Amino acid sequence: MTNAMKTQDEKNQITVTFPDGNTREFTTGVTGLEIAKSISSSLAKAAVAISFNGVQKDLSDTLHENGQIGIITTKDDEGLEIMRHTLTAQVLARAVKNLYPSAKLAIGPTIDNGFYYDVAFEKALSSEDLVTIEKEMRKVIGNGNTITKKVMPKAEAIALFKERNEPYKIDIIERAQGDTVQIYFQDNTDFIDLCVGPHLPHLRKMGPFKLMKIAGAYWRGDSNNEMLTRIYGTAWRNDDELKTYLTQLEEAEKRDHRKLGKEMDLFHLQEEAQGSVFWHSQGVTIYNALQDYIRRRVDAADYKEVKTPQLMNQKFWSQSGHWQKYREDMFVVPDVVPNTEEDGPVFKEEPKEFLALKPMNCPAHVQIFKQGIKSYKDLPVRMAEFGCCHRNEAHGALHGIMRLRQFTQDDAHIFCREDQILEESKSFCKLVESIYKDLGFEDYTITLETRPENRVGSDELWDKAEQGLMDALDQINFKYTISEGDGAFYGPKLGFIIRDAIGREWGCATLQLDFNLPERLDATFIGEDGEKHRPVMLHRAVLGSIERFIGIMIESYAGKLPLWLAPTQCVIATITTKADAYAQELYEQMKKAGLRVELDIRNEKINYKVREHSHKKVPNIFVLGAKEAEEKTVAIRRLGGKDQDIMSSEDAVKQMIEDAKPPF
């Protein structure tokens, strides 16, 4: 072979690297499906897409450069998402057009556990219509059509969708970057859809699914635009996964903290104070018990509690970088004196400065650290605060006490030297482990979230910060996964994700290592050399939002909170008036012992009383009749139990006192 022929032959070859590190040569223009077939026919049969140099592609896409490949199947999480994407864009959308030809398709992305599609209908849908649509979807899947793709110029695509009277697709195309878009077709049909893909190669690979609900959604999330109908669905690899998910949803509905909060008389929410909680007496009892527990834990760990202002001048937030990044999520007020006139207060001039309700506590804690001169011997300084924060969350994002505009963080900041980072990080991780065990959450994972694209500080500082957190986890043998690009704008962070009683995951504790904020807010200490140095800041929280954590606990425990947290630990309920005096005596004794006890001597049947208090999740009910009054005993009915125990009142109270002790 001549050198010229060899050079030409080399130009027609690409090198593909597989996940195991092995490489192979392929002819340029090879497809993902052809590469899968070259490995095994079973892999080609299972394949749904590929990942090439980190970008997902259809199996039919041709490759023209060297790169790393991964063959994606529905066993992979990426494959499941592609299946869900195909289900919404190629099955749900087509079923809707089959049934409602005049409907206008908007967008249909995947979401956690499923998908949705926004559609403009001439007439409003009802939940009963979902049954009809789901039946049509199964017919579409049953045809097993092949899905093909065409890349076409934007102008040609716009003309195509104009013919079909699809204004939302035209809007998407006009806003899209680049000169071309992707259009997906189904063989033997006139259905098309606009999509970035990838999609399954054909509908025979579709897994089980179920349409869940309908809701309203503004086009592009803008309330000035028209309201569309959003159809939600879920899809899984197999029937067992679908059944498990639907069972979990049923259980989650029973455990909904909003429903239980009302039944247990803990709190309520109102339109007039969106995103803020009206805590009732019973709810405040839980709140205070949990906060007092955390207070004891941080006090034992040598944190000093502080309290900082709600309103601070914008300059602090500008210096820290929060103003530039979070301004739209902050509540601000003009920092000027109003001129009071007969028609009410007016401003003499346009405000030049603003005050902001604090969305977090860190800049305020730096101000306390800066009071007085700090020596290297004073470090670490561990500063804790149950800080009330405000964030301007969108109305649609609010959810009970889980997502609020006003909430309290069990926040703390550790100011330390670089040589103290390791020990302080290790100590915090062990503190989280201990607290979560006390609260009943021993199943959790840890993520290390690294530098985001938009960040402050040099790469050198970020290298040190990320390595510092990794070293701490490695030394105490805590397993973790890396989440690229999800760190805070000022530093990397550890995220602790707990798993509740029904398998749902909640991100709670966090530790953020920050070299940048002390620099931006001019925090210093005097080093051993007599010179000024910058401290390192560790931002940390164990519960995160106290309100949210209470919501998580209510749902995980299904309202049956540990006795030390239960707002009412015992109800003394009488069967007959002959036991009233004994009940009153026992009530006074238990109150004096510090137990949270209620007395129910109403003229109601005992079964009614037991049912009512059980509905409110009271852990223990002491049932007293004439016999118990005579023998100084109690019949104890425990929440969720079928039988009752008979004990002397003395032993019963002693046991209650012991069982009600907080874990620390």
In the set 84, 205, 391, 616, the catalytic residue is 391
Q: Which amino acid is residue 352, in one-letter code?
A: K
| CA distances in angstroms from 105 to 96, 100, 119, 407, listed in the order given | 9, 11, 5, 39
pLDDT tens sequence across 609-639: 999 999 999 999 999 999 999 999 999 999 9
Other CB atoms closer than 10 Å to residue 634's CB: what's the count?
27
**Residue extents of the structural domains in the chain:** 3-73, 78-250, 271-337+352-555, 570-659
Q: How far apart are the first and last CA of the chain?
A: 81
Q: Is the peptide bond before 380 cis (omega within 30 degrees of 0)?
A: yes
Same fold for the pair 271-337+352-555 and 570-659: no
Largest Cα–Cα separation, the chain: 113
At 213, is the secondary structure helix, strand, or coil? strand
Q: Is the dihedral of CA 91, 94, 98, 103 positive or negative?
A: positive
> What is the spatial distance between Cα 169 and Cα 105, in angstroms, rounded to a whole number?
7
Query: Which residues, in sequence order, are bridge partners of residue 326?
Result: none
Please give the model's pTM, rounded to 2 decimal places: 0.82
Residues 6+ apart with CB under 8 A from 23: 15, 16, 17
Structure tokens belonging to residue 295: 């207070």
Q: How far apart are CA 256 and CA 266, in angstroms?
A: 13
CA 57, 63, 66, 70 torsion-angle sign:
positive
d(C-alpha 579, C-alpha 192), whole Å: 77
Residue 123 to residue 147: CA distance in whole angstroms: 30
Distance from C-alpha of 229 to C-alpha of 40, rounded to nearest angstrom:
44
Q: Estimate to the nearest angstrom the gap between the alpha carbon of 384 and the chain centroid.
A: 24
Q: Which of 241, 276, 285 shows the shortest CA–CA distance to 114?
A: 241
Q: Which of these is catalytic: 199, 358, 413, 609?
A: 413
Q: For domain 78-250, give the fold.
A: Threonyl-tRNA Synthetase; Chain A, domain 2 (3.30.980)
Q: Give the count of beta carbons closer than 10 Å to the beta carbon of residue 226.
A: 11
362 is catalytic: yes
Annotated catalytic residue 493: yes
φ, ψ of residue 336 in degrees (nearest 5): -140, 160
Considering just the CA atoms, what is the radius of gyration of the chain in Å? Answer: 31
The active-site residue, picked from 169, 258, 382, 493, is: 493
C-beta atoms surrounding 227 within 10 Å: 13
Return d(Cα 440, Cα 557) in angstroms, integer: 9
- CA atoms of 559 and 579, how far apart (whole Å): 30
Q: Are 74 and 237 in contact (CB under 8 A)?
A: yes
Closest by Cα among 199, 171, 173, 175 to 185: 199
Angle at which helices 421-438 and 281-300 cross, to 10°: 140
pLDDT averaged over 10-residue windows placed end to end, the chain, 664 residues: 46 89 92 93 92 93 93 92 92 94 93 93 90 95 91 93 94 91 90 91 91 92 90 95 93 94 96 96 98 98 97 90 84 74 58 85 96 96 97 89 96 96 95 97 94 88 91 94 90 94 91 92 96 96 97 96 97 96 97 97 95 96 96 95 91 96 95
**Nearest partner of 67 among 43, 88, 50, judged by Cα:** 50
Q: Are strands 278-279 and 267-268 parallel, antiparallel or unpaired?
A: antiparallel
ω into residue 198 within 30 of 0, thus cis? Answer: yes
CATH, domain 3-73, list 3.40.50.2300, 3.30.429.10, 3.30.565.10, 3.10.20.30: 3.10.20.30
Nearest residue to 652 (alpha-carbon basis) of 631, 438, 581: 631
The span from the CA of 664 to the CA of 655, in Å, is 18
**Alpha-carbon span 263 to 97, nearest angstrom:** 44
List the one residue out of 59, 125, 70, 133 whose CA is nearest residue 96: 133
Tell whether domain 271-337+352-555 is in CATH 3.30.930.10: yes
Q: Check 129, 193, 411, 600 and give the catalytic one.
A: 411
Q: Kindly name the residue from 84, 97, 205, 539 that is annotated as catalytic.
A: 539
Distance CA 392, CA 406 (A): 9
Torsion angle, CA of 54/59/64/69, rounded to 10 degrees?
40
50-61 burial, b if ≥16 CB within 10 A, otherwise e? bbbeeebbbbbb
Which CATH number, 2.60.40.1220, 3.20.20.60, 3.40.50.800, 3.40.720.10, labels domain 570-659? Answer: 3.40.50.800
Which has the closest alpha carbon to 171: 254, 104, 261? 104
Say what the alpha-carbon torsion angle 210, 215, 218, 223 is, to the nearest 10 degrees.
Answer: -160
Catalytic residue among 90, 409, 512, 569: 409
pLDDT confidence of residue 337: 62
413 is catalytic: yes
User: Helix 154-163 crosses helix 167-175 at what angle (to 10 degrees)?
Assistant: 170
